[in-house]
Chains A and B, each alone.
Chain A
Amino acid sequence: MALLEVKDLKIAYRNNATGEQSLAVDGVSFTLDRGETLGIVGESGCGKSTIARALMAYCRPGGEIVGGQILFDGRDVRAFSEDQLRELRGKRMAMVPQDPLTSLTYHMRVGAQVDEISRIHQKLDAKAARQHTLSLFERTNLPDPARTYRRYPHENSGGQRQRVVIAGALACQPDLLILDEPTTALDTTTEMQVLKLVKDLRDRLGVALVYITHDLTLTNYMCENVLVMLDGKVVERGRTAQVFEAPTTAYAKKLVAAIPRVDAPAPVAQASTRTGAALLDVRNLTFRYGRSWSLNPFARRTIDAPAVDDVSFSVPAGGTVGLVGESGSGKSTIANVVVGLLTPTSGTVTFDGQDVGSVDGKRSADLRRRIQVVFQNPLSSLNPRQQVETILTRPLQVFFGITGGPARDRAAELLEQMELSPDLLRRYPRQLSGGQQQRVAVARAFAAKPDLLLCDEITSALDVSVQAQVLALLKDIQLKTGTACLFISHDLGVVKQVCDEVAVLQKGKLVESGRPADVFAAPSHPYTRRLIAAASRREDYEDIASGQDAAAPALEMASSTPGKGQT
């Protein structure tokens, strides 16, 4: 008998305003045996997380399981009483949710939150529960379990927090572990460490896994079987390797094709408009965040390491340079220096032969026009109270003095360039899809006819299939206009796809740079090797991570906010 058998599961949500029910999950069936791993993949809103919670017979407010069976060990959990469900949850089935920061109670010490679970289910006394928690912390590779035990959630790094949640989920040795996007909030290398840990624990404990994710490559690494979901329905299922290599349905094909891969061969002879002369030249850039002014004589005096340390690179006119690194690597600081929001502590920034490093806040209108930015999250970068027309015509007015009818025509033209209908001019950002929003943001940048476009993680908030479309359009318009691009990203696959040159940053230092084909084929720095291994989910990741880089344990600390976690 299978451990878990889901038959024709249907879950509906009620719309609060209209009172109508709509199906979020529509007739999903699958089975899972002990020790097996099943991946459920799909883009945001496809119903995958709803299924994860429903396996424990739990729905968020407004949701309801309206049909089907969830047989766990042969018994339908839908028929369980409240008491039976409490026995089931946390003891026989456990869940690791997406964001460990919000999923841990902020006002309780992390140790107490894990203790709680074993005290409830295994009736341990306080002392035994503490011992048990400490051993779980050890098994999940948390540094210094005794100290971690006493910390509050915000005092830990993201990776540590997720380990705490996993420790809690394993407290009662469940038969089934459900992981709902457990690494989405983490950096690539931290993600890899957590994945490795989950894999090890699965093999050691023989627990069955349901792994929910939007990341196909991740299922390939983690799962034997996979379900691909679209709009609440399963559109493809099978052995992961098979689905990955030879998808049968159109949607799955599109998903697989859209994955930016580090291990794929570089696009042959990329079309490029680069002319060779350096448009942006950054020399020996160092930036140190100053301490904020404080009246408090007890204020902690820390000597912060520079956020950017002696970094040099240049962007040729018409070329595309990628800046790669994890959070805390200094990418965003460099971006802020380039656009003039920060003044470098030392070093020079030259744009088209003109020194622009020290003119903080006083840049000429023309210089502002020539360097444009596209931000990570379009919902944040587009004013929710302005129609697309206002968003697009404002730069036209500021930079070119174009207003009224001509501005509207130009705005419509910009939309068409991004393959958007001019009808969208009257819409507000929230009425657009994520991909449409980001295309409007790109159109706004090109309204200024820039020479340099700074793209700050522009695809990381988008679904994979939308990512590919936005990148293709960007590349297209870049070719037409000859605009240079500084492309900042943590996603090696994307960088490999769009850049002629790449620079890798680690903790504010530039560790490697060159043509993407060369860098990715033969990385010379251990950090780059580790990033690539993590991004391509290579099985030998662990050897690369532990064997060749002594700085590995420090990595996780770097990803937490400075000042936190070291108290």
Chain B
Amino acid sequence: MSASSSRAIQVLTHSPGTMIGVVLVMLHLAVAVFAPLLIPYGETQLVGAPLLAPGHPDFLLGTDAIGRDYFSRLLMGGRTSITVAMVGVLGAVLFATLIGVSAAYIGGLYDDVVMRIVDTKLSMPGILFVSLFVIGFGRSVVVLTIVIGISYFPGAVRTIRAQALTQVPLDYVKAARLRGESALSVILRELTPNVAEVVVVEFAIRTSSAILIVSALSFLGLGISPPTPDWGLMVSESVNQIYAAPWLVLLPAAFISSLVVGLNFASDGLANALGLDAARGLHRS
């Protein structure tokens, strides 16, 4: 183990892209966690004249169209979507590990049913999928988190099952069966540790994809609702100002982009370090 993890660290630190990615993600996470301590004004409070330009002595990055401090809104603007994406994807990936590994191990009709459900979801473009839920269940952070979980579950099942399928024919599984280990014990004790790397990379890749989708939904008015600050929402709220105040669009755009770029560089490096092919898992829908 130590040999392979030190090799992993070596690969990670040898790639400048990965380092930049890790630093970006760390910065974003730190800002998201400590934003309430860093912001000079309440993120939803009307504190100044509307549309002040950046560089104003009281408002570092100016104010938005109705006079809220833009710096405070930007710092707070990632919290909701990052939380929704991470919680949703974490749930999806954990559950997918259990289902994917068991489908690979048990096979037969169970595997068939699981895979047809997976095929069905993979045929539904992400935004269409979510809009069905939004019209059915309304718009709230909880619904959004659950929907993100449901939409990332099938793809994760597919990848994790594929990895588990490479392990199932191996003799250590046969040895465990011959020892009389229960199916659950084989799945959890023998197989799951051998798909752990894929699970970690799945989590990383799908979290970045989920952040993309949550911000796109907010931009479309299907995700996080005002007055909560959210980068996607802030871009769409500022569309009418692109002539007068293009920074109102560009600043949140830069925040969201740098977060996802950082996440993807980091997960690409992580996948390389673990000897997996990140490109296969990439997902853009």
Contact = CB atoms under 8 A, between A and B. Distances in A.
Interface of A: 17-18, 339-341, 363, 365, 368, 372-373, 375-377, 380-386, 394-395, 398-399, 428, 430-431, 444
A383 B178 contact: no
Contacts, number: 53
Nearest to A372: B178
B179 A368 contact: yes
Contact of A363 (B3, B170, B180, B196): B180
B172 A368 contact: no
B7 interface: yes
A385 B195 CA distance: 10
Nearest to A373: B178
A481 B204 CA distance: 52
A18 B3 CA distance: 13
A380 B171 contact: yes
B7, B177, B180, B190, most chain A CB atoms within 10 A: B180
B193 A341 contact: no
Contacts of B174: 341, 373, 375, 381
Given A17-B10, A340-B178, A363-B180, 10 more contacts: A17-B11, A17-B14, A341-B178, A368-B180, A373-B174, A380-B170, A381-B175, A383-B190, A385-B196, A431-B3
Contacts of A375: 171, 174-175
B181 interface: yes
Nearest to B10: A17
B1 interface: yes
A373 B175 contact: yes
A365 B180 contact: yes
A56 B172 CA distance: 41
B56 to A, nearest CB: 51
Nearest to B172: A383
A394 B1 CA distance: 20
A381 B172 contact: yes
B115 to A, nearest CB: 14
B285 interface: no
B110 to A, nearest CB: 14
B45 interface: no
Contacts of B181: 398
A428 B5 CA distance: 13
B180 A380 contact: no
Contacts of B178: 339-341, 368, 372-373
B194 interface: yes
Contacts of A385: 193-194, 196
A382 B11 CA distance: 27
A457 to B, nearest CB: 11
Contacts of A339: 178
12 contacts: A341-B174, A341-B177, A341-B178, A373-B175, A373-B178, A380-B170, A380-B171, A383-B193, A395-B179, A399-B179, A431-B3, A444-B175
A383 to B, nearest CB: 4
A513 to B, nearest CB: 26
Given A383-B194, A385-B193, A398 B175 contact: no
A381 to B, nearest CB: 4
Contacts of B194: 383-385
Candidate in B1, B170, B171 with the most chain A CB atoms within 10 angstroms: B171
In which size bucket is the chain B interface? 20 to 34
Nearest to B8: A17
A394 B179 contact: yes
B36 to A, nearest CB: 41
A166 B196 CA distance: 43
Contacts of B14: 17
Contacts of A372: 178
B179 A380 contact: no
Given A341-B178, A365-B180, A385-B196, A380 B172 contact: yes
Contacts of B177: 341
Contacts of B172: 380-384
A8 B118 CA distance: 59
A376 B171 CA distance: 9
A383 B181 CA distance: 14
Contacts of A444: 175
Nearest to A363: B180
B258 to A, nearest CB: 29
Contacts of A383: 172, 190, 193-194
A440 to B, nearest CB: 12
Contacts of A341: 174, 177-178
Nearest to B109: A293
Nearest to B177: A341
Interface string B161-198: 00000000011101101111100000000100110100
A291 B229 CA distance: 61
Interface string B194-216: 10100000000000000000000
B7 A17 contact: yes
Nearest to A378: B171
A18 B9 CA distance: 12
Contacts of B171: 375-377, 380-381
Contacts of B193: 383, 385-386
- What 3 A-B pairs are tightest by C-beta distance, nearest first? A381-B171, A385-B193, A375-B171
B79 to A, nearest CB: 36
A394 B14 CA distance: 39
A470 B190 CA distance: 26
B201 to A, nearest CB: 16
Given A17-B7, A375-B174, A385-B196, A398 B179 contact: yes
Interface string B1-39: 101100100110010000000000000000000000000
Most buried by B among A339, A381, A385, A399: A385
Contacts of A380: 170-172
Contacts of A428: 1
A173 B170 CA distance: 43
Contact of B180 (A377, A382, A386, A398): A398
Of the candidates A382, A383, A394, the one having the most CB atoms from chain B within 10 angstroms of its own CB is: A383
Contacts of A376: 171
A399 B14 CA distance: 47
A375 B178 CA distance: 12
A380 B78 CA distance: 45
A299 to B, nearest CB: 16
A497 B190 CA distance: 35
Contacts of A381: 170-172, 174-175
Nearest to B170: A380
A398 B178 CA distance: 11
Nearest to A385: B193
A383 B1 CA distance: 13
A310 B10 CA distance: 58
Nearest to A384: B194
A21 B116 CA distance: 50
A375 B175 CA distance: 9
A380 B171 CA distance: 5
Contacts of B170: 380-381
B275 to A, nearest CB: 11
A377 B181 CA distance: 21
